[in-house]
Structure 1
Amino acid sequence: MIRVLVVDDEALIRTGFTHILNTADDIEVIAAVPGGQAVRAVRELLPDVVLLDIRMPDVDGLTILADLRRMPQAPVVAVLTTFDTDEYVATALRSGAAGFLLKDTDPEQLPHLVRTLAEGGTVLSSKVTRLVVDGYLDKDLHEPAVRLAARLTARERAVLVLMAEGLANTDIGERMHLSTGTVKGHVSAVFSKLQVSSRVQAALIAERAGLLTSDQDEGAR
């Protein structure tokens, strides 16, 4: 059972997300709280996934994110936002968020996205725009990204591309006919060579280096 905590100052959003997610057999919303109660709720309830509103009137969602990421057993955190060009999204990704969801995400997709987060995958709304990517990696970082990506083996590049698609380790293993343990080893190598600490950071470097538009078939064999 995937234990989820919803953090949003709007009661309607909390109720809506709770209702949608609790219809799934393998997901349980253990609490839905306003921002001021978020850190305490995480410490007491130990959720697997936190869906965190990034813009709340009475508390800074980025501060909450930083507090959660410092916890010994930090949950996976995806930020919620109303706008796909929200200026706070880039900072949240730098701070360790596993991705972000728009509040108007298709209800039928929401349980799948939470499962992806719980399995270690990356979730970026389908409405992510170039503005978000450019806000995360400055335009003059193309050449450094290319140099970092050049350190990867063909197999590691193939793993990186699938990570950028949002696949979890088990899904990557199935796609590439590798064990989950082998995939984890490749993911660790990718993080080390790209000098990043999250899948989102790795995926956006891959985008900046042009890997997401190149042919990765050779590396997948």
Structure 2
Amino acid sequence: MHDLAQLEPIARDLPQTKRGHERCVALLESGAELFLEHGYDAVSLDDIVNHAGGSKASIYKYFGNKEGLFTAICDYRREQFFKDICMPFDFEKDNLRIYLIQTLFNFKTHIVRPENAAFMRLIIEQAQRNPELALYIHEQGPKHIQQAIACALAKADEFGLIHCKQPIYSAQLYFGIIRNIEWRVLMNIQIQEDDQETIKYIEYAVDRFLEGHQKV
């Protein structure tokens, strides 16, 4: 369960009570469930309120409208999605190779989960209609996690572990390692590889990535 502070970037009018917090989260979770089950257009605010309890006044107060609620759901699910994927890198005790391998494996594990995959497809569908939403999701999702990896790579360069003078470019190259898996998930093509085979591939690709970042 999120505490009040964690809802601050998600809700327009931050709930001040435990009950308000619980109502806010219930609307987010109910909205996500209904959008996934029926599609964005088929779900009304009345449907969400009937499912979650409360009133439409709460939606207007916390999220503004249906579009605002959907954007907040994207934020809510993104926070849950990324919190266990890209952990902070400790240069005093962590191994860079293991860190890079584990981050990609975590990412793959999350995107192949049916609910996460379905929500990614829903976001892409809505982004086609709303360029502002598309840009926002890109800034807060893919670009955000690329920045996190870019910071780790830049720090690794400072420590002399690798040679990386264009960390953003390198971060984009790094996530390209699992682009094929990501595309298959988005197109609803079954992933055939088991975890052992996926780890073997990621280890191979990360080793090639690190070889390309050694001083000549």
Q: Look at both structures and tell me which one has the larger radius of gyration over its CA atoms.
A: 2
**Which has the larger share of helix?**
2
**Which has the larger share of strand?**
1
TM-score (norm 2): 0.30
TM-score (norm 1): 0.30
